[in-house]
Structure 1
Amino acid sequence: MSDILGAISVSSSGMTAQAQRLRHVSENIANADTPGYRRKSIAFHEVMEGGVTPGRVRLDRSPLDRVYAPGHPLADDSGHYDGSNVELILEIADSREAQRSYDANLKLFDQARQMTSRLLELLRR
């Protein structure tokens, strides 16, 4: 029984971590055109019994795109301003990966829940 509860715990921590990852990917996509915005990423840390926990949010330190728009209010004397460093293709790929990982953890959670339910039914007889 403890193996089943462990599987539920591991899958639950995976879903929580992937949900937080999806939140940051969504923020990155929403702010792709925001001047000065830096891409956010998050790393996961393994905890006891195989689960994961989200780590600190990190800002991507790669250089910001220089955008030429002389009429923009943030433009400097040369007509440039700092854009964001968000790559939409990368964000879409990250969102798909996070969604697939979330779905895999959800299936594991559901299977462990069904096994627990069946075990309890057998014990009642």
Structure 2
Amino acid sequence: MIGRGDWAVDNDLMKAMQVSASGLKAQTTRMRVIAENLANSASEASSPNEDPYRRKTVTFANVLDRTLDVEMVEVKKVEFDKADFGTRFDPGHPGADANGYVKTTNVNGMVEAMDMGQAQRTYQANLNVIDAIKSMSVRTLEILR
């Protein structure tokens, strides 16, 4: 039989699992945006009046879940990076301006690779928390038998 104190421990473990799940969801969005940036990293203007792909960034927010009384992480917004586009001199390109320059994307593959590595580590850390909670719950149930 589980006593009142045992329920509080179990409830806290469930809260911790839900907080980690919110971290997984947020990092999944971040990895999707990074993948989109990388997929478009060779983008360039196709005409002088068009812009190439503009890099996207993810901003997170702490949000109080009043039902659980814990702070969760969620994606606050996905927005465009306001950094300038690059340029490449290629006067024969259909996207070249009057001076012969073609606008190139503002995606930097090295920055995206670093961001992806950080997103993967954070995702894995949240998975580790969920695994630890699962293991603790199983051990608690075994003790209470």
Please give the range of the TM-score, normalised by the shorter of the 2 chains: over 0.9
Q: Between the two proteins, what is the percent identity of the paired residues?
A: 39
Gaps of 5+ in 2: 1-9, 45-51, 65-69
In structure 2, what is the equivalent of residue 15 of structure 1? 24
Aligned mates of 2:54, 2:136 — CA distance in 1:
44
In structure 1, which of residues 73, 96, 115 is the aligned counterpart of residue 117 of structure 2?
96
Q: 1:87 deviation in Å?
A: 1.2
Residue 56 of structure 1 pairs with residue 56 of structure 2: no
**TM-score by structure 2 length?**
0.81
Q: 1:68 deviation in Å?
A: 1.2
In structure 2, what is the equivalent of residue 117 of structure 1? 138
Q: 1:70 deviation in Å?
A: 1.6
In structure 2, what is the equivalent of residue 30 of structure 1? 39
Aligned mates of 1:98, 1:38 — CA distance in 2:
20
DSSP 3-state at the match of 1:47: strand
Q: 1:69 deviation in Å?
A: 1.2
In structure 1, which of residues 76, 79, 104 is the aligned counterpart of residue 97 of structure 2?
76
Aligned mates of 1:75, 1:117 — CA distance in 2:
64
Higher mean C-alpha displacement, 98-107 vs 110-119: 110-119
Aligned mates of 1:52, 1:113 — CA distance in 2:
21
Q: Pick the structure with more helix per residue.
A: 1
Q: 1:66 deviation in Å?
A: 1.4
Q: For residue 24 of structure 2, what is the amino acid of its counterpart?
A: M
Aligned mates of 1:116, 1:4 — CA distance in 2:
8
Q: 1:74 deviation in Å?
A: 1.1
Q: 1:51 deviation in Å?
A: 1.6
Aligned residues: 124
| Runs of 4+ residues over 4 Å off in structure 1 | none
Task: Report 1 or 2 for greater relative contact order, CA contacts < 8 Å, sequence distance ≥ 6.
Answer: 1
